[in-house]
Amino acid sequence: MSFDFDLWKLLAGLGLFLFGMHLIEDSLKALSGRTFRRMIRTYTNGKLRSIGSGALVTALLQSSSAVSLMVLAFVGAGVMNMQNAIGVIMGSNIGTTLTAWIIAGIGFKLKIEAFALPFIGLGAIGLVFSKPPSKLFMVTRLVIGFGFLFLGLEFMKSSVESFTRTFSLEQLPAYGLWFYLLIGTFITALMQASAATIAIVLTAMNSGMITFEVGAAMVIGANIGTTITVLLGAIGGVPAKKRVSVSHLVFNVITGAVAFAGLPVLVRWIAFLMDLNTSPLLGLALFHSTFNILGVVLFYPFLGLFSRLLMDLFPERKIKLTVYLDQTPPEITDAAIAALRKEIGHLLQACQRYNIRLLRIDEKLVLNTDLPFEAYRRKKIGIDELYENIKLLHAEIITFYAKVQLQKLNKTEATDLERLLYASRNMMNAIKNLKGVRHNMDEFDGSDNDFLNGQYKLFRNRLVEAYHDTSRILAMGDGEVQCHNLLDAFKRIEEADDRFIKSTLRAVANHQIQEMDIASLLMVNRLFAQSCRMQIYAIKDMILPQEQVDLFDRTLDGRPPGRENTTVPV
């Protein structure tokens, strides 16, 4: 017996289908991303509202994984509680069944090429006359996405048509329905897209390769396999994110187990509602919706209990960020100010480490100690998480400062406290400056323009030199010597700034860089130099006695540098 089965056409169709789904999801998020996020964040107060919002947004966005990842973000940010998050996850399982209805209702009822190819053609023309990120550009991507989705479906359908003429179900080993349940789970986990699995199942059913019961078992498996995306998104995350991912897994596994155990009953129920001989594809879509709604009904009374159980299973473990403030009562003002000064030194170390990692500099070239709130980790904190921890540390410093400020302070203590506040603000503004030009630095690093690439290396060298200066100054014990060395360090920063501007102007004259690069280079240099200056100002206010602070300020034209824009970053 010969088998005429075009495997490559099937894989190509699957690829087109997945690409179309990606374009649809990406375009919809770009067109209405804020609306979707606002809907999930705002309209999830209460069990029914959270379930309804999850279903509606998933139906519109056509991606339960995208909605689940939004929920992970909102829970991690503390703007959504656990019970409502579980409700959105449950609702998203209902909303995702719309994909099966669209494929079953349209994909196999009409001649697909009759509208898939015009969608792609018109969308491609639209791309020519639009530019990202305009709405027209995103709409044309959406149109092309639908075209590819249905064209991929046509490829999958036609790839098995010849094969099914010579294929009989009796040729398959009698593994049982549990085998197809596992196949559905595996395929979905591998592709991280339940819609693709459902498309494969509907294609196989339409061609007569599998029975309705086998298709139903694979759809249940697809529901279980889709949890892999959220599980991956929660790896290494905060406990709140782990709760959401586990709730998704538990809900889908229990719903799948109940649906699989009651499969004969559910199949008879679907057969009672419609003729499975004439409409098996719509019947499978109805089955998909039915068992997901059944899961919501089963879980609904236990939402509160389930959320509390997850809270107990994954309790919050607050990271200890401060080193010196926890054991110091703010009422003892002299000790409190001394502890605050040490904590701001800790903040300085964290800020310098952030800038070093941002420019991918070997930390051993500058720092010789570990970061205190990294000590419990097996590996280094990612740069984004480090920035969040630095902001939290700064918030704790400000909170402690506010408590000390409420105490009875003499004039010297009040002045010292104010200067420490300036120091912490300048440190935060220093890293915020470099964070703002991070993408520019990456562009310079990866540029094939030798001048841009060389300037990136120069930025790294300037930062290492500046931090060597500050490390040496911090190790000195004499305030007067520290003041003069800080002024020398400040002078070197200004000289490096001046050299950079002159070299850039020479490059412009020699046509070594393009016009767009000129603005980027000068803007990055301005913020980089300002970041280095702010660290000098911060160290000045942190370590120098008032007499030396006055000398420093007088030397710089009598203006207290860095204090005019020292707002607390958020």
- 348 shares a domain with 278: no
Please check whether residues 168 and 61 belong to one and the same domain. yes
Reply yes or no on whether the pLDDT at 566 is more than 50.
no
Residue 525 has a pLDDT of 93
Q: Enumerate long-range contacts of 240-243, CB under 8 Å, 24 or more apart.
A: 240/75, 240/76, 240/78, 240/82, 240/314, 240/316, 241/72, 241/75, 241/76, 242/314, 243/75, 243/82, 243/85, 243/307, 243/310, 243/311, 243/313, 243/314
pLDDT attached to residue 124: 87
Do 373 and 233 fall within a single domain? no
Q: Is the peptide bond before 133 cis (omega within 30 degrees of 0)?
A: yes
Q: Could you tell me if 471 and 345 are in contact, meaning their C-beta atoms sit under 8 angstroms apart? A: no
Q: What is the DSSP letter of 127?
A: H
pLDDT digits (tens, 9 = 90+) for 467-485: 999 999 999 888 899 999 9
Do 263 and 352 lie in one domain? The reply is: no
Cβ count within 10 A of residue 162: 15
83: helix, coil or strand? helix
More confident residue, 499 or 112: 499
Q: List all residues 6 or more positions away from 303 whose beta carbon is below 8 Å from its beta carbon.
A: 47, 83, 86, 87
Flag whether 566 is in a domain: no
pLDDT band at 323 (very low <50, low <70, confident <90, very high): confident
- Residue 135: pLDDT band (50, 70, 90) is confident
- Whether residue 321 is contained in a domain is answered as no
Residue 565 lies in a domain: no
> What's the pLDDT score for residue 254?
93
How high is the pLDDT of residue 2? 44
562 inside domain = no
Same domain, 411 and 350: yes
Give the list of residues 6+ apart from residue 300 with CB closer than 8 angstroms, or none: 47, 51, 90
Do 195 and 277 belong together in one domain?
yes
Counting the structural domains of the chain, the total is 2
Residue ending a domain, among 256, 285, 313, is 313
Decide if 295 is inside a domain: yes
Residue 1 lies in a domain: no
Q: Please state the separation of Cα 55 from the chain's center in Å.
A: 22
**Residue where the block lists tokens 């160290």:** 539
400 located within any domain: yes
Q: Are residues 286 and 354 in the same domain?
A: no
Listed residues 281, 313, 345: the one ending a domain: 313
| Length in residues, the chain | 570
CATH number at residue 519: 1.20.58
**Do 207 and 65 sit in the same domain of this protein?**
yes
Residue 404 lies in a domain: yes
> Among the three residues 313, 345, 364, which one is the final residue of a domain in this structure?
313
Together in a domain, 295 and 158: yes
Are residues 281 and 350 located together in one domain of the fold?
Answer: no
Helix ranges (DSSP H) in 166-279? 177-191, 194-206, 212-225, 227-234, 239-261, 263-273
pLDDT in tens, 231-257: 766 665 667 778 878 888 899 999 999
Q: What is the pLDDT of residue 563?
A: 41
H helices of 166-211, where?
177-191, 194-206
pLDDT band, very low/low/confident/very high, at 328 (cuts 50, 70, 90) = confident
| 282 and 418 part of one domain | no
How far is the C-alpha of 126 from the C-alpha of 128, rounded, in Å? 5
Claim to verify: residue 237 and residue 340 sit in the same structural domain: no
- List pLDDT tens digits, range 74-130: 676 566 778 888 888 888 888 888 878 877 777 665 565 666 788 888 888 888 888
Query: What's the domain range around 55?
Result: 7-313
408 or 116: which carries more pLDDT confidence?
408
277 within 8 A of 238, measured Cβ to Cβ: no
